[in-house]
Every structure is written in C-alpha cells, then in structure tokens.
Amino acid sequence: MISTSVTRLLGIDLPIIQGGMSWASSSSALPLAVSRAGGLGVVAVGPMRLPDLTRTLDEMADGTDRPWAVNLPLYRRGADEVIDVLLQRRPPILIASQGGPQRYLDRFRDVGTTCLHVVAGTEHAHKAAAAGVDGLVVVGAEAGGHPPPAMVTTQVLVRAVVTEVPDIPVIASGGVADGAGLAAMLALGAGAAQFGTRFLASHEATVHPNYKAAVLAATVDGTRAVGRGLGVTRALANEFTARMTELEESNADLDVRRKAFQAATLRDAALYGDVTWGKAEAGQSAGLIRSVLPATEIIEQIVAEYTSACERLRPPR
C-alpha cells in the first residue's frame, strides 16, 4: 500500500488511477483488472449506449468489492439520461469533465458517490473546489485526448493547483507512464497520478491491435496537438494530424478546418484500426512505453519503479 490523500479519499491501495479512455475502457475488462489490483479502474461512459452502460455497471458491481469509477464527459449527447442511469446504479466514484459540477454534484452526493472533477487550469480548480467536489483531476498539456487549451505542462499546472487550492486532493494527469513519473507527481503535492496511454497499451484495453502497435512505435515527439478553435486533441502523428497542422499553419478558414477535423474520429482508430486517418488519441508518454502487458503487470511494474525512484532519492548513509 502507498497511502496518500487520494488513496484515503477513494479507499484504494495504490495512487494509480486508470484514465477513462473512450473505447479502451468502455467495458468492464480493463477497469475490473485495475481495481482488483489495488488501483482505481475507470469506466469511460462517453461513447456507450444506455443498455451497454447498464450491463457494464452491473458487471463492475458484481466483479469486485474494490472501489471503481465512471468517467462522464458532460457534453456527451444524452448526458442527462446517462446521469439518471448512474444515479440508479450508484457508482462508488464519479469523475466528471467538460462541464460544471453544479449540474450533478448534489444528486450524486445524495446517493453516496464520491465526486472528482477534471480541470485544466487554476481558475477552474478554484471554482470546482468552491462548488464542493471531493477531489480534482488536473490535466496537463502532455495528456492524450483533450489537453488544456493553454497547453500548460502537467508539472507546472499540478504545482500551481496544489499551491493555490491546498485543501483538496489532486490527481495529476498527463505525461506519466511509469513509477518514476508517479513519484514525481507525488513530490509535486498530488495524491495520485492518472495513467491513460500506459493502460491503452494493456491486454484488457478494448481497442484495435493496430492502435496498440502505433502507441508502441511512437517516440516522445510522436504526438501532435491539433484542433485550434475546435477543441484541441492530442493524437499520434499521422496523416490526419499532418493535414490539420497544414491547415492551421496556413490559417485556413475555420469551416475548412472543422470539416477536416470532424472527418476523422477516435472510433476509426480504436474500433477499426485506422491509425493513418483516424484520431489515434495518445499522450506524449507513448514514447516511454515499450510493451503491451496485462493490467496487473503494469501496476506491479509501476509500483516497483516507484519504489526504486524513492530509494534513489534517499540521502546516502
């Protein structure tokens, strides 16, 4: 066990949070494996149909007595109907993003759910804390998917949030793939780190093998943040990101850029294996990942690396 403010809040053994990744954790396989191993498994409900969501929530409740979470992007179509389903099933933990806490907080508190909110800046961190959320997930520029528009790095943003909002547990997200990264985030004042891309390259992640292979092949400079003015997305460098970069650098009309941006989807990469023109979302930490492993082994590896990192920091006797 590694005891921190976040592990105590959530009732987990290890400060290892699996990122709620659309398609990769939109089923019970990966979240169950992570929660059973002592971390926090997270079901990504963003792309899920209501019958699939209901079945997955039942599988999570039946499959483990350890804490687990659901990740809900509040902008998704039918979010209110999803909230109704979640309130019926009472997940232990909710991680909400892309909206304000006032929309859900009181109702989930009433059913006993611990509520974490995703923020990408100090202003939003202050507002979420003032609203009464139980903890924050602070996302930096290195993160895959949707990094902060201002592109402030995880190291700087986490340190700013824990300094300015010191009384709320913080989970650091972005650029962390191993135990040394976990130690670094705890040293900054976070109580846990969220691992997205690392668990994308797991046996249990329900994405196409092409996607996992592309993560392994990536270098540390092998992702691009594109979509200026449209909702920035960080994805593996490919024909899609090259086209978007070309349009952005030439100051192409917004409608032209929007058409190209919307023509590519995460679904294309995750389900159909199109890592050439699909939005193969991944963080810069892809460049640190060299193997696809079972989730349990990933967690064991992170803990061993964390222990080694802490030993290196001890002063000589």
Q: 54 with 182, same domain?
A: yes
Q: Is residue 245 part of a domain?
A: yes
What does the block give as tokens for 185?
């985030």
Position 102 scores a pLDDT of 87
Rounded distance between C-alpha atoms, residue 155 and residue 175, angstroms: 9
Q: 118 with 148, same domain?
A: yes
Q: What is the pLDDT of residues 55-73, one digit of tens each?
A: 999 999 999 999 999 999 9
Calculate ∠ Cα 131-228-222, nearest 5°. 100
Inter-helix orientation angle 29-36/295-313, to 10°: 40
Q: 168 with 259, same domain?
A: no
Q: 12 with 125, same domain?
A: yes
Closest CA to 223 of 162, 271, 177: 177
Q: Is residue 51 part of a domain?
A: yes
Query: What is the tally of structural domains in the chain?
Result: 2
Once rounded to an integer, what is the mean pLDDT over residues 74-96? 93
Q: Are 280 and 238 contacting, i.e. CB atoms less than 8 angstroms apart?
A: yes
Q: 50 with 63, same domain?
A: yes
Position 219 scores a pLDDT of 96
Position 98 scores a pLDDT of 86
Mean pLDDT for the chain overall: 95
CB atoms within 10 A of CB 16: 29
Q: Is residue 140 part of a domain?
A: yes
- pTM for the structure as a whole: 0.94
How much of the chain exceeds pLDDT 90, in percent? Answer: 91
Q: Is residue 87 part of a domain?
A: yes
Q: 276 with 198, same domain?
A: no
In terms of residue numbers, what domain contains 225? 218-284
Q: In which residue are the tokens 């939005």 written?
A: 279
Position 190 scores a pLDDT of 98
Residue 298 has pLDDT above 90, yes or no: yes
Rounded distance between C-alpha atoms, residue 108 and residue 102, angstroms: 11
Q: Are 305 and 243 contacting, i.e. CB atoms less than 8 angstroms apart?
A: no
Residue type, 157: L
Once rounded to an integer, what is the mean pLDDT over residues 271-298? 97
**pLDDT interval class at 46 (50, 70, 90):** confident
Position 6 scores a pLDDT of 98
Rg, the chain, Cα only: 18
Q: 195 with 263, same domain?
A: no
Q: What is the pLDDT of residues 181-238, one digit of tens each?
A: 999 999 999 999 999 999 999 999 999 999 999 999 999 999 999 998 898 999 999 9
Q: Is residue 147 part of a domain?
A: yes
Residue type, 124: H
Q: 276 with 295, same domain?
A: no
Position 314 scores a pLDDT of 85
Once rounded to an integer, what is the mean pLDDT over residues 5-29? 95
Closest CA to 109 of 136, 126, 127, 132: 132
Q: 186 with 107, same domain?
A: yes
Q: Is residue 222 part of a domain?
A: yes
Q: Is residue 85 part of a domain?
A: yes
**pLDDT interval class at 113 (50, 70, 90):** very high
Residue 317 has pLDDT above 80, yes or no: no
Once rounded to an integer, what is the mean pLDDT over residues 256-261? 96
Q: What is the pLDDT of residues 119-175, one digit of tens each?
A: 999 999 999 999 999 999 999 999 999 999 899 999 999 999 999 999 999 999 999
> Residue 264: CA atoms inside 13 Å, Cβ hemisphere, count?
26
Closest CA to 291 of 194, 199, 210: 199
Domain of residue 106, CATH code: 3.20.20.70
Q: Is residue 213 part of a domain?
A: no
Position 5 scores a pLDDT of 97
Residue 27 has pLDDT above 80, yes or no: yes
**pLDDT interval class at 99 (50, 70, 90):** confident
Q: 95 with 195, same domain?
A: yes
Position 203 scores a pLDDT of 97
Position 248 scores a pLDDT of 95
Q: 199 with 143, same domain?
A: yes
The full DSSP string for the chain is ----HHHHHHT-SSSEEE---TTTSSSSHHHHHHHHTTSBEEEE-TT--HHHHHHHHHHHHHH-SS-EEEEEETTSTTHHHHHHHHHHH--SEEEEESS-GGGTHHHHHHTT-EEEEEESSHHHHHHHHHHT-SEEEEE-TT-SBS--TT---HHHHHHHHHHHSTTS-EEEESS--SHHHHHHHHHHT-SEEEESHHHHTBTT--S-HHHHHHHHH--TT-EEEE-TTT--EEEESSHHHHHHHHHHHTT--HHHHHHHHHHS-HHHHHHH--TTTS--B--GGGGG----B-HHHHHHHHHHHHHHHHHHHSPP-
Q: 136 with 172, same domain?
A: yes
